Amino acid sequence: MNHFPEGWGRPRDDVYGAYDGSHLKTVQPGAGFNQHTQSPIVTGTSVIAVKYKDGVVIAADTLASYGSLARFRDVERLKVVGEKTVVGAGGDMSDMQYIFDDVLERLMIKESYSPESHSPLLAPHVYTYLSRLLYARRSRLNPLWNALLVAGHDEHDKPFLASVDLLGTTFDGPALATGFGAHLALPLLRKLVPNEEASQNVTKEQATEAVKAAMKVLFYRDARSIDEYSIAWVTPQGVEQSREKLENQSWKFAERIRGYGTQTN
């Protein structure tokens, strides 16, 4: 027997000839086959969200990067689903378009015209559906390369905020962020809402200011971000949306950073 690790269990080549594995090939050379991408090309960065007393505020910038190139500068990464739900997506933009324009659109159409549907499509329903979808795709080794935040209200009109990633990992909290925002923005948001009880004492204005401050920090620190972003407020009355631009930008603080420009000491 051949005792080299790469050939364990195979007969000796010098006695029986080289091993012929052609019968294991299911696709003939040149026949072509479908291959799903496992390496995102055009990507979006952070999505951040925080609960407040009556709802949830969620924001994401409008940049889609082609590698390190700021290629597409007007990409909407927030999707309104139903009447009281917003889904924000980071990661691969083609997978995001599939989720937004195919999966969620079909879900809304089905819920709107299904005779068995007696309740409106709420954030927990959308979140459960997406979590099952992403876990199923991950189990087939063909994941949707996204991190999603689902913001809205539950059946008791309480604010709802939860996250699911490409592995199907799910969790909720009073403040959540994806991408680089999980490292930089989330600690800032947790100062405002360290737990669920604290979010009940936060006003819409306070939550909005915290999100805008976090978006400014991300623009300064994240090379894949841009100074224009979409922001949405999910209230008991519905969803309010706006397109914002960072205000009062200043890079003066960079002069004190070691290694910035010609400063080395």
45 is known as an active-site residue: no
Q: Which member of 26, 37, 45, 264 is catalytic?
A: 37
Q: Is 168 left (phi over 0), alpha (psi -120 to 50) or beta?
A: left
| Nearest CA-CA partner of 48 in 230, 227, 228 | 230
Active-site residue numbers?
37
